[in-house]
Structure 1
Amino acid sequence: MTATDPNETFRQEARELLESLEQSLLDLDQNPEDRDLVDTAFRALHTLKGSGAMFGFDEVADFVHDFETAFDQVRKGKADIGPKLISIALAAKDHVTKLIAEPGVHAAGGAPILGELRSIVATGKNAAPKDVAAVAEPTPLAEGMQSWRIRFRLPDDALMLGTNPALLLAELRELGDCIVTALSDDVPLLEEIDVEVCYLHWDVVLNTTRGQDAIEDVFIFLRDGMDLNIELIEAPPVGVNGDAVAPALSADAPSGASKIKQGGRKPGSSEQASSSLRVPAERLDELMDRVGELVIAQARLLQIASVSDDGSLKAVAEEIERLASGLRDTTMGIRMVPIGTLFGRFRRLVHDLSSELGKDIEFLTSGEETELDKTVIERLADPLVHVIRNSVDHGLEDPVRRAAAGKPVRGRVKLAAVHKGAEVAISITDDGAGLDVERIRAKAEEVGLVAPDAKVADHDLFQLIFHPGFSTAKEVTSVSGRGVGMDVVKRTIDALRGSIDVVSTRGEGTTVTLRLPLTLAIIDGMLVRVGNSRYTIPLSAVEECVELPNAVSSGGKGRNFLNIRGSLIPFLRLRELFKTQAPADLHQKVVIVSAGEHRVGLVVDQILGNNQTVIKSLSKLHSDVETFSGATILGDGTVALILDVVHLVRFGQNFEERLRNMHSGRAA
């Protein structure tokens, strides 16, 4: 087993802290009066500074220290929060990302950013900040302040590990006025002193408007092995001159004190700290592969047991099936990630596009708790970036045009996710100008995608925007217009076995919906037989099964629809589609499947039952075969192809439209 790289550990933690910082800054852009957001951003900076110093990323620690010092004026209410401050703070966050990614390369680029940040802060509502560190004596408590007693003893090896107690005390002073008393009770005789051991401990009385969490954050990297006692003093003593004074030391803290010892966590927090565990993604992938092999072996065992007279073997096979099913579900659950982890990235994208294009944009999200397989989420980032950029650039009008159209000056882009069966629908909706059908048609005819006299539905025309190089933009911008991005979207979604729907109303806006499977690893499938071959249909797409009526079983004389409780549903004969030569069964079955709002029937010879299906990708030679999305190994060792329901439903809908057009032409 390879040892964990400390630098990679820091980078991973830093990514999470930087994401938290970015989200806090973007939230502050919308809610500048929210002090909790300011505290969250400051805590992220403070933790990042400490981690950088601990792991030897000195450039990061130095830059973040200056960043934190400037931002501290915001935290203390001495500078207003506005768009300029947020923009330069986001630029500073980006610079930290570069320093972490390429140490020693970007150090010089931080000075202009810090200079501008200091300039913005200096012109805040209190241009002359008070030097808190220079306060020698605490002042009487002002309204909203509380007085705290902090007593702490550092671990014996703190000095050896690079901890500087003076810096900790300076950070406490930044929280408010305080009296610091160094206690030397444990200092041994000179000849017994070990220069690497910290013998002093401290007693601090702090007057601050900040809460206990802010005090604990000062010691965030030292809690393991140290003694920390934080006590709220209800009524701080007052001296003869009216100044607050340090209370006499007591052997035991009162019942209201918060004690943190030998591990530095509040009682009960150890359970919370151990409730999650960071695991490398490749280990999850390997676990999923092993579970997949187990499912195949379990199916083989069940096949053998089904033809055996040994009752014990049947019992063991059933027990293993139950355990394998539970292990599969648990493993799948581990791989499922809330899509909100992806949605958060696009707030910054929209914020930057808003500034670049001069458009006032409200960005809304919903369904962040919707879960998807981590593999799907990892590959979704680029397609969503392209769709959102197009919505902002081409979809939303500029403020002048919106006002002329009677719309609010502020445009709206909404990103939403929702579960639908065993798929997730992710929609990007804007309230812009909508797609121009005439312009799309003209461009399609110009490049030869559509014949001039062909009848093409709007839905099919909209799909042309995903054709390589297709663009109706009048000019190429830095954001879009080359007809490349949407082609990437199409190819990525197809590779994920998903589909794309586009709905647009001229003058009102456009909705692009990406429909994706929940997972790419293991699914429940319905095994069917067509001729002598077996195929798997994803069970999540199956709505019901009916028997094919005798009236249409022999060919149907043009009838290619079933009446299911008053609804006409087109059906496809898989025997014809797959050119099966074996004779058909006497009583064929129809499996009704759906994708989105559309349904189609698949005519098969026999329904064999349900099974757990481990998805195996087809080779590159078969990558262009749209009818199948993969293959699976059955219990008897043979291979069954997995039907691509989305493609078949689309094929059935087009087939239905062709029939209707043909009948309407005859009627005319």
Structure 2
Amino acid sequence: MSPDPADTFRQEARDLLEALEQALLDLSQDHGNRDLVDSAFRALHTLKGSGSMFGFDEVADFVHEFETAFDRVRKGLAPISEELVRIALNAKDHVQLLALEPGEHAAAGTPILNELRALVSDGRGADGEEQSPEAASQEESDASAIDAAGWRVRFKLPADAIEMGTNPMLLLDELRELGPCEIVASGEDVTALDEHDPLGRYLGWDVTLRAAVPQDAIEDVFLFLREDMELSIEPLAPETDAEPEPADTPAEVATADAAGAPRAASAANAKAGASLRVAAERLDELMDCVGELVIAQARLSQIAAGSQDVGLTGVAEDIERLAATLRDTTMGVRMVPIGSLFGRFRRLVHDLASDLDKKVEFVTTGEETELDKTMVERLADPLVHIIRNAVDHGMETPEARRAAGKAECGKVQITAVHSGAEVAISVSDDGAGLDSARIRAKAEENGLIAPDAKLTDHELFQYIFHPGFSTAQEITSVSGRGVGMDVVKRAIEGLRGTIELTSKPGEGTKATLRLPLTLAIVEGMLVRVGDGRYAIPLSAVEECLELPASEVAGTSGCNFLDVRGTLVPYLRLRDMFGTQTPADLHQKVVIVGSGEQRVGLVVDQIIGNAQTVIKSLSRLHSSIGTFSGATIMGDGEVALILDVAQLVSSAEQQQRRAAGRHLELAA
């Protein structure tokens, strides 16, 4: 099946619009950066051409006017300002609508373009000073003025230009459209016929352009090739009548990169790092096949282990090695930098700060940290909720920050780091911090805690994740309805992750998400409880102990174990699962952690570690919170995967109930 051209354009447009948005947001922080202006202009220029080529005429027409107005900024005839960035972002959003829903939003673009034209033509120069109309006109004229004799243009395309679809004849036609041209081909790189590569680049071009056009117009012809090609543009002296000199002077033509090598060579080297766009569905199918292969390989290894056939054992070892390599490679293909997600939040913070009349700086670190693409996609909504809360609830107004001795501009920072087999993502702000007293009052008002209950700040903060819980004093368009943080917690736990909050009054709040690298395959510790086998994610396991003899005959429910001077609650999985078979004489305790909390899980036997392919539970079993999925063992049997976050939460609840009963007895 051939891909839909419209879908191809939308995918390309999405990437270009994202690049445009990032450039505009960077410009809002650095008004004088001309490289950012050029980057935004290139994105617009490409978008216009693609829209026209794929039949998205509304996009092409709107972007043409957008580009024309922005060209004044590029030439220094209009200043960069917050207002310009705001209107340009609105224009970018409109282009996105035109691409997604052709024929529905064309009329809505006129006011945006009128506003943009008025702003870039308001009679102010690049320094922001008022100019008379005559001065502004003269400035534009001076910017375009050149020697009437024209230009000498010499160029060679990148080494892979023909292979990538570049047609030099079209470039020459664009130069002819600027004015009369004398064109001479330079063929000193042409090889013998038996060595000729049909997709190779062998010709250079020497063009004498006799027209009074600005140099920018010539550079625009090569706008998307200039970084990798050889290009020389020199004014043509008025008395020049001689024939063009052959382009055989490398010192004049070739431009070198930082290492001293010609840019054409760097383009050839870049070819080795070229990327290929693959549909996400195909990667998912590949991952499913690899998962089935891992299961089949485990069964083969188990059969080979019980066989005396040396040949079968050798084949099983080879398949195990190849399956492991294929598994790691496939998982690596699915890994994407989390920076692709972070970039979306810059616009969110920019718009929220504007709507709430706050000054907020958004900082990201660890953008190169890689995470499974499925995880990245499903993290977007939870992080949006957290960031919105940080800007709305956490960040004070400029006046309040001044009164507290802080800088007017607050900071929201999002950080990602690898932590063992997990990724830790934290969102922090330097705002007012969480109000423990208000949270407690709201929890008591909702009947969640007793007025005399003794709770730590960490325990109080957990009520923020309770459905319908909100301490906002008024409902706004951003927050206050008690919807959000409970959804965040469920979403994170659905990814087999955890979330924890820390806060200091007057200093800010930090939300930390801990997530596995992938949802598909996980290292697990296999344990036995009665006749059943279960898998515990190895990333959550901290240590293993033998259950002391004094605790073997303990009561059911939540008990405590002294681990090097620290009391750790533990759960007897035999009691939780209703196991009827006799318990082993020497039971084991697996200490697992979720956030800052630790809990022990009492099992009959620790079998060992294994790669587990996670299978989702059916809808019939989806409400069972103790398990996050299942896996198929080498012998074909099914083992349930324990949900560590749910077990830790269960231990905390039992601990609170036990403390309540103790207080009642004491009373």
TM norm. shorter chain > 0.5: yes
Instruction: Give the SS at the match of 2:391.
Output: helix
Q: Do the aligned residues in 1 keep the contact of 2:497 with 2:514 (CA within 8 Å)?
A: yes
Q: How many angstroms apart in 1 are the aligned matches of 2:557 and 2:286?
A: 51
Match of 1:396 in 2: 395
2:428 alignment partner, SS class: strand
Say which SS state the counterpart of residue 85 (structure 1) adopts: helix
1:250 aligns to 2:245 (yes or no): yes
Q: Distance in 2 between matches of 1:246 and 1:85?
A: 46
Query: Which stretch of the first structure deviates more once superposed, 48-57 or 82-91?
Result: 48-57
What is aligned with 2:416? 417
TM alignment of 1:122-133, pairs within 5 A: 122-123=121-122, 124-125=124-125, 127-128=136-137, 130=140
Task: Quote how far apart the aligned CAs of 1:25 are.
Answer: 0.6
**What is the rounded CA distance, in whole Å, between the counterparts of 1:294 and 1:250 in structure 2?**
65
Task: Say whether the 8 Å CA contact 2:339–2:366 is kept in structure 1.
Answer: yes
The aligned amino acid for 1:633 is I
Output the CA distance in 2 between the equivalents of 1:427 and 1:218: 38
- Trace 1:155-170 onto structure 2 (pairs within 5 A): none
List runs of 5+ in structure 1 lacking aligned partners.
141-145, 174-178, 186-199, 260-264
Q: After superposition, where does 1:528-547 map in structure 2 within 5 Å? A: 528-547=527-546
Q: Is the contact between residue 421 and residue 541 of structure 1 (CA under 8 Å) also seen in structure 2? A: no
Mean Cα displacement is larger for which, 314-323 or 131-140?
A: 131-140
Aligned to 2:377: 378
Question: Which of 405-414 and 457-466 deviates more?
Answer: 457-466
How far, CA to CA, are the matches of 2:287 and 2:520 in structure 1? 8
1:271 Cα offset (Å)? 4.7
1:538-559 per-residue CA deviation (whole Å, 9 max, x = no partner) reads 1222223233333333438999
Shift in Å, 1:414: 1.3
Any residues of structure 2 matched to 1:469-480 within 5 Å, and which? 469-480=468-479
SS of the residue corresponding to residue 407 of structure 2 reads coil
Distance 1:138 1:549, change over 3 A: farther
Task: Give, in angstroms, the shift of residue 297 of structure 1.
Answer: 0.8
TM-score (norm 2): 0.85
CA distance in 2, matches of 1:538, 1:605: 18
Q: Could you say which residue in structure 2 is the equivalent of 1:350?
A: 349
Q: Is the 8 A contact 2:206 2:247 kept in 1?
A: no
Report the residue type matching 1:607 in the other structure.
I
Cα deviation code 1:112-157 (max 9, x no counterpart): 21221121112331633525897574489xxxxx9753589x99xx
Q: Which residue of 2 aligns with 1:231?
A: 232
CA distance in 2, matches of 1:168, 1:237: 15
Q: How does 1:35-114 map to 2 (within 5 A)?
A: 35-114=34-113
How far apart are residue 248 of structure 1 and its match?
3.6
Paired with 1:151 and 1:430, the residues of 2 have a C-alpha distance of 51
Counting only pairs closer than 5 Å after superposition, residues 185-196 of structure 1 correspond to structure 2 as: none
| C-alpha distance in 1 between matches for 2:290 and 2:114 | 55
Give the aligned partner of residue 181 of structure 1.
181
Say if 1:344 and 1:557 are closer, same or farther in 2 by CA, change over 3 A.
closer
1:269 corresponds, among 259, 267, 279, to 267
Corresponding residue of 1:643: 642
Q: Which amino acid aligns with 2:248?
A: A
Contact 2:77 2:140 (8 Å CA) reproduced: no
Corresponding residue number in structure 1 for 2:615: 616
Q: Compared with structure 1, are the counterparts of its residues 312 and 247 closer, same or farther at alpha carbon in structure 2 (3 Å cutoff)?
A: farther
- The Cα shift of 1:309 comes to 1.5
What is the distance in 1 between the residues matched to 2:325 and 2:217? 45
Contact 1:237 1:247 in 2 (8 A): no
Paired position in structure 1 for 2:154: 149
For the residue of structure 2 that corresponds to 1:516, the secondary structure is strand
Give, in whole Å, the separation in 2 of the partners of 1:163 and 1:237: 23
Q: TM-score, normalization: structure 1?
A: 0.84
Per-residue CA deviation, residues 501-554 of structure 1 (Å, 9 max, x unaligned), is: 122233332222222222111111111111111000112222232333333334
Q: Secondary structure at the match of 2:418?
A: strand
**Unaligned 5+ runs, structure 2:** 127-135, 186-204, 256-262
Q: Distance in 1 between matches of 2:368 and 2:265?
A: 30
Output the CA distance in 2 between the equivalents of 1:441 and 1:125.
56
Q: Percent identity between the aligned chains?
A: 60
Q: After superposition, give the CA deviation of every residue in 1:1-35 in whole Å (9 maximum; x if it has no partner).
A: x2111111111111111111100110111011111
SS at match of 1:392: helix
Listed one character per residue, the Cα deviations across residues 341-395 of structure 1 (whole Å, up to 9, x for unaligned) are 0010110011111111111111111121121111111111111111111211122
- Structure 2 distance, partners of 1:599, 1:444, is 25
Rate the CA distance shift 1:247–1:55 in 2: closer, same or farther, 3 A: farther
Q: Which moved more, 1:110-119 or 1:292-301?
A: 110-119
Question: 1: CA distance between counterparts of 2:100 and 2:486?
Answer: 30
2:246 is aligned with what amino acid? A
CA displacement 1:298-342 (0-9 Å, x = unmatched)? 111112112212121122112211111111111111111111100
Describe the shift of the 1:183–1:407 C-alpha distance in structure 2 as closer, same or farther (beyond 3 A). closer
Matches of 1:519 and 1:120, distance apart in 2:
48
Q: Give the secondary-structure state (helix, strand or coil) at the position aligned to 1:267.
A: helix
* Cα drift, residue 443 of structure 1: 2.6
Find the counterpart in structure 2 of residue 216 from structure 1. Answer: 222
Query: Secondary structure at the residue paired with 2:586?
Result: coil
CA deviations on 1:183-232 (whole Å, 9 max, x unpaired) are: 499xxxxxxxxxxxxxx995448998879986632669xx9xxxx86336
Query: 1:263-304: CA deviations, max 9, x gaps?
Result: xx9335245245311000000000000011111111111121
User: Is the partner of 1:432 in helix, strand or coil?
Assistant: coil
Query: 2: distance between equivalents of 1:230 and 1:394?
Result: 54
For residues 232 and 34 of structure 2, the distance between their equivalents in structure 1, rounded to whole angstroms, comes to 24
Q: Matched residues in 1 for 2:45 and 2:648: separation?
A: 54
Shift of 1:568: 4.0
Aligned to 2:587: 588
Q: Which residue identity does 1:489 align to in structure 2?
A: V
State how 1:244-323 maps to structure 2 within 5 Å.
Answer: 245=240, 248-256=243-251, 257-258=253-254, 266-273=264-271, 275=273, 276-323=275-322
Shift of 1:46: 1.3
Work out the CA distance in 1 between the residues paired with 2:16 and 2:442. Answer: 46
Q: Relative to 1, partners in 2 of residues 1:451 and 1:393: Cα closer, same or farther, differing over 3 Å? A: same
Q: Distance in 2 between matches of 1:345 and 1:31?
A: 19
User: How many residues of Structure 1 are paired with residues of Structure 2 in the alignment?
Assistant: 626
1:147–1:207: 8 Å Cα contact kept in structure 2?
A: no
Deviates more, 1:335-344 or 1:128-137: 128-137
For residues 483 and 238 of structure 1, do their structure 2 counterparts lie closer, same or farther at Cα, with a shift above 3 Å needed?
Answer: same
Amino acid at match of 2:101: E
8 Å CA contact 1:529, 1:604 repeated in 2: yes
SS at match of 1:92: helix
Amino acid at match of 1:543: E
SS for the counterpart of 2:506 is coil
Amino acid at match of 1:118: R
3-state SS, counterpart of residue 102 of structure 2: coil
**SS at 1:130 equivalent:** helix
Distance 2:361 2:232 in 1: 45
Could you say what secondary structure the match of 1:250 adopts? coil
Gap change, CA 1:132 and 1:381, over 3 Å in 2 = farther
**Structure 2 letter corresponding to 1:255:** P
One-letter amino acid of the structure 2 residue matched with residue 585 of structure 1: D
SS of corresponding position for 1:217? coil
Task: Name the CA distance, whole Å, in 2 between partners of 1:550 and 1:218.
Answer: 74
Q: 1:465 deviation in Å? A: 2.4
What residue number does 1:191 align with? none
Q: 1:556 to 1:211 in 2, by over 3 A?
A: farther
* Structure 2 counterpart of 1:88, one-letter code: I
SS at match of 1:266: helix
